[in-house]
Amino acid sequence: RKTSKRIPPGSLGIPVIGQSLGLLRAMRANTAENWFQERIREYGPVSKLSLFGKPTVFIYGQAANKFVFTSNNSMLANQQTQSFKMILGDRNLLELSGPDHKRVREALLSFLRPESLKQYVGRIGEEIRKHLEMYWQGKQQVTVLPLMKILTSNIICSLLFGLEEGTQRDKFVACFEEMVKGIWAVPINLPFTRYNRGLRESARVQDMMKELVHEKRLQLEGKSASPHQDLITFLLSIRDEDGKEVLSEKEIVQNGALSMVAGYETSAIAITFIIRLFANEPAVCAAVLQEQQEIAKSKASGESLTWDDLAKMKYTWRVAMETLRMFPPVFGGFRKALTDIEYDGYLIPKGWQIFWVAPMTHMDNSIFPEPSKFDPSRFEKQASVPPFSFIPFGGGPRMCPGNELVRIEILITIHYLVTHYEWKLAADNLFSRDPMPEPSQGLPIKVWPRELS
């Protein structure tokens, strides 16, 4: 065994709490990048600390990202916080590794890959149109983030769970919201803590999901549902060579819940920051409008957008990518060292966590010159963005399987918004992270119908 002398510099802080509260506080004050810069100044690019009850090594940069995202299963395992595991369960994709991870991920991806999602573009568009009619039409002011959370959770409820408008869907979403708040909490299970509430709501969500799975199973058996109705019916229908279900009920429940948790807030934040950006960057907004008007002109009134229309929205997607670079919804994540690892001259002891963060690479001026400038042209040529330096969706075998769904949601929402409305900010331009970035007051905007020339 190597000597402890080579363990990275830094301090593990006080037991259990370590630096978690300091980091969470910096994220809320939107000073997390400075918090990390200070660490780097004090200890260098590799340092130790303690986060969410575990000894941790913080690493950053393109090489660090490649190491985290591509190291093999015998060296690094995915590692969520204890709160995450307790709330989402031990069979969710983020907790699985090796053949189990591959099997469950393949099943999810069979539903979420472009060739499959193509068929749902009309349905997603319909959900977005209904949302705009209900929450935007005729309004002079709206608060964007809560509305986008309603929109993206409705899309997920419809597409993944087959839950359409109604009280069951509302109850479901409300429980999820409370559950999610517990996930990033310090795991202290005392009454009235976020963590304690998260655990309670998690039990309710699991019960609701189980009930849903039973209903769908009956519907499939009675042929009143098709395998392609939603993700749950799809997962229930996949069989191996012996005709056995590929995923257990527990895996369907936990990965359905994971997809909601991983997908609704992240996507809502991405769309919210694009809407915020349009208010701040009129030239970008005008160029997106031009692209979207071209597409709108080619459609009859009320005609749905198609997969081919989305392929034409190239500039809009570059704007979305640049927004994800500057304001990544997922700040970073953890892996666990399964063995003693030598990294950059230091020892990362077996059992320790490794913490990767996106903004430190996204704002590196050697990769993205003038990183604070909003410049969608950075993404004009795929080759100009080096591998593992643009990581809003992670990378490698655990890269976000929801990224194609996000692309569809963003493009359709922006299409209808920008061709029907204009807006300006009704509050300040600030945002904080808790742990995801949220504009102050949820981004209230003044909104009015666009007069088309």
The footprint of ligand HEM (CB under 6 A) covers: 78, 93-94, 105, 112, 258-259, 262-263, 266-267, 270, 329-330, 333, 392-394, 398, 400-402, 405-406
> Smaller CB distance to ligand HEM: residue 124 or 208?
124
Q: Which residues pair with 57 in a beta bridge?
A: 48, 354
Least gap, CB of 265 to ligand HEM (angstroms): 8
- What's the closest the beta carbon of residue 108 comes to ligand HEM, in angstroms? 6
Q: State the alpha helices, DSSP H only, in 379-420.
A: 403-420
In sequence order, the β-bridge partners of residue 77 are: 336
Q: Toward ligand HEM, which CB reaches closer, 393 or 416?
A: 393
Beta bridge partners of 433: 437
Closer residue to ligand HEM (CB): 398 or 433:
398
Q: Which is nearer to ligand HEM, 78 or 432 (CB)?
A: 78
Locate all alpha helices (DSSP H) within 49-193, ordered by sequence. Answer: 62-70, 82-88, 98-112, 114-117, 121-135, 144-161, 167-183
Least Cβ distance, residue 393 to ligand HEM (angstroms): 5
Q: What angle do CA 254, 355, 183 make, to 5 degrees?
A: 35
Q: Of 142 and 159, which CB lies nearer to ligand HEM in the complex structure? A: 159
Q: Which residue has the tokens 């009920």?
A: 249
Report, in Å, the least distance between residue 106 CB and ligand HEM.
10
- Which distant-in-sequence residues (6+ apart) come within 8 Å of 445 by Cβ? 141, 142, 143, 144, 275, 279, 423, 424, 425, 426
Min dist. Cβ of residue 145 to ligand HEM (A): 13
| Under 8 Å between Cβ of 351 and 379 | no
Cis peptide before 15 (omega within 30 of 0): no
Q: Which residues pair with 332 in a beta bridge?
A: 357
CB of 97 to ligand HEM, least distance (A): 9
For the CB of residue 303, give the shortest distance to ligand HEM in the complex, in Å: 26
Residue nearest to ligand HEM (CB): 402
CB within 8 A of 23, min separation 6: which ones? 32, 35, 51
Nearer to ligand HEM, 107 or 199 (CB): 107
Residue type, 74: S
Element (H, E) at 47: strand 47-51
* Closer residue to ligand HEM (CB): 404 or 422: 404
